[in-house]
Amino acid sequence: MQCSICHKSGRPMYCAHCMSSSPHMLLKLKLDLLILRETNGHLKSRVEDILEYGLGQIAGKEPKSASTNVEGDILGRRLRKLDSVILRRKNNRVKYRISQLNRRIYEKRHRIEALRSKLQLPSKIGIHEKELKAKRESQELTISEGKQQLTQIRKVLLKSQLSKIRSLVEWFVIRKRESYEFPYTLAFQPIVSLRNVYKLPSSVVWGSISTMSRYLKLFAEILFFTLPHNELVAPNAPELELEVSAKTADESSSDENTIVDHLTKIFINIIQISRHLNLISKDPIDLAWMLDQNDLDTLFYNMAMRLETKSKPVFHHWTYPQILAVVSEALQLSSVYATSPVSRQTLTGTKANNNDRWYVVR
């Protein structure tokens, strides 16, 4: 197409026939395009073969064809190297992460150990408490063992004491008789009491007092008990019989006071031993009522046989003068026998003669 003024073409125009068939136009380009497409297809298959061969080398697969594939070998080596590099990088990253975690674990563990050591580190008070606790446990264990040993020793001691007490009873031949005036005997002689003291000769009274005192002393030694009053000393019986008739009223009165004193001390010893054996209440008791209910011989027999004795509580303690007054009053009540015609020798010496004898009772 030409310009109508300058007659120059602005752009070339071709017809359709020329465009399709002219070798100088699109045909050459189309042929080049086809050739290029075929070359691309061949190269694509070649690349695929190389990739397949290289990936097979990585996977360890056997190649399908026996022909050598240099490009595939190169690609396989490069891919293996790349995989090793990637794996090494990944391993390094994992190692670094592991090292970080290990470091954090170590720090936390060190922190935990430090805190635990602080918690377990005992203070001075804690150490003192532990020492006191250990000492207390040791003392309790020692006390427990000591109590067990003491219990065993007490059992053995009690058994030995009971055996000795039974032997002592047999030794002194303590017996109970069917008699109102002299119901108990000690060493084949009557046990003196406040009721029958005026019915016995002085020699028998002193002999009974001496034997009772000796028995109480041995009984207390077996029990490891200290008597309030030691063994009482009585005059010899032969000398006493010879001196009875020669004594005046004042001397007889003095002997009477001596007997009252001895009986009072024996009474106190009996009460204390009975309390030690838990036969009588350890609280203050009415001694006057007890002497009225149980005479001296009954109290002595109950103590020797370890029999309980009834008592009456009071609100005051007794002194020796008060007990002496109670015994003296009981003896004065019994002195009525001294004025009777059938009474025996009294403490004042009335109706006394040297022919009085006390025979062995059975």
Question: Residue 49: which domain range?
Answer: 25-121
Around Cβ 67, how many Cβ atoms within 10 Å?
Answer: 6
pLDDT in the model for residue 358:
46
Q: Are 284 and 311 in contact (CB under 8 A)?
A: no
Cβ contacts of 232 within 8 Å, gap of 6 or more: 209, 210, 213, 262, 265, 266
CB half-sphere exposure, 22, CA atoms < 13 A: 9
Residues 315 and 178 in one domain: yes
| CA–CA dist 50, 73 (Å, integer) | 8
Domain check: are 102 and 239 in the same one? no
Strands 175-176 and 189-190: unpaired
Which pLDDT does position 353 carry in this prediction? Answer: 42
Q: What's the structural domain count of the chain?
A: 2
**Based on the domain organization, do 51 and 183 belong to the same domain?**
no
Q: Is residue 110 part of a domain?
A: yes
Residues of the chain predicted below pLDDT 70: 1-14, 19-26, 60-68, 120-127, 233-256, 333-362
Q: What is the pLDDT of residue 93?
A: 92
Domain assignment present for 345: no
pTM of this structure: 0.54
User: DSSP for 309-320?
Assistant: ----B-SSPPPH
Last residue of a domain, one of 82, 102, 121: 121
Model confidence pLDDT, tens digit, residues 289-308:
888 888 888 999 999 998 98
Q: What is the pLDDT of residues 18-54, one digit of tens each?
A: 766 666 666 777 788 889 999 999 999 888 888 887 7
Of the candidates 12, 34, 30, 7, which has an alpha carbon nearest to the alpha carbon of residue 20? 30
Q: The tokens 């007794």 sit on which residue?
A: 318
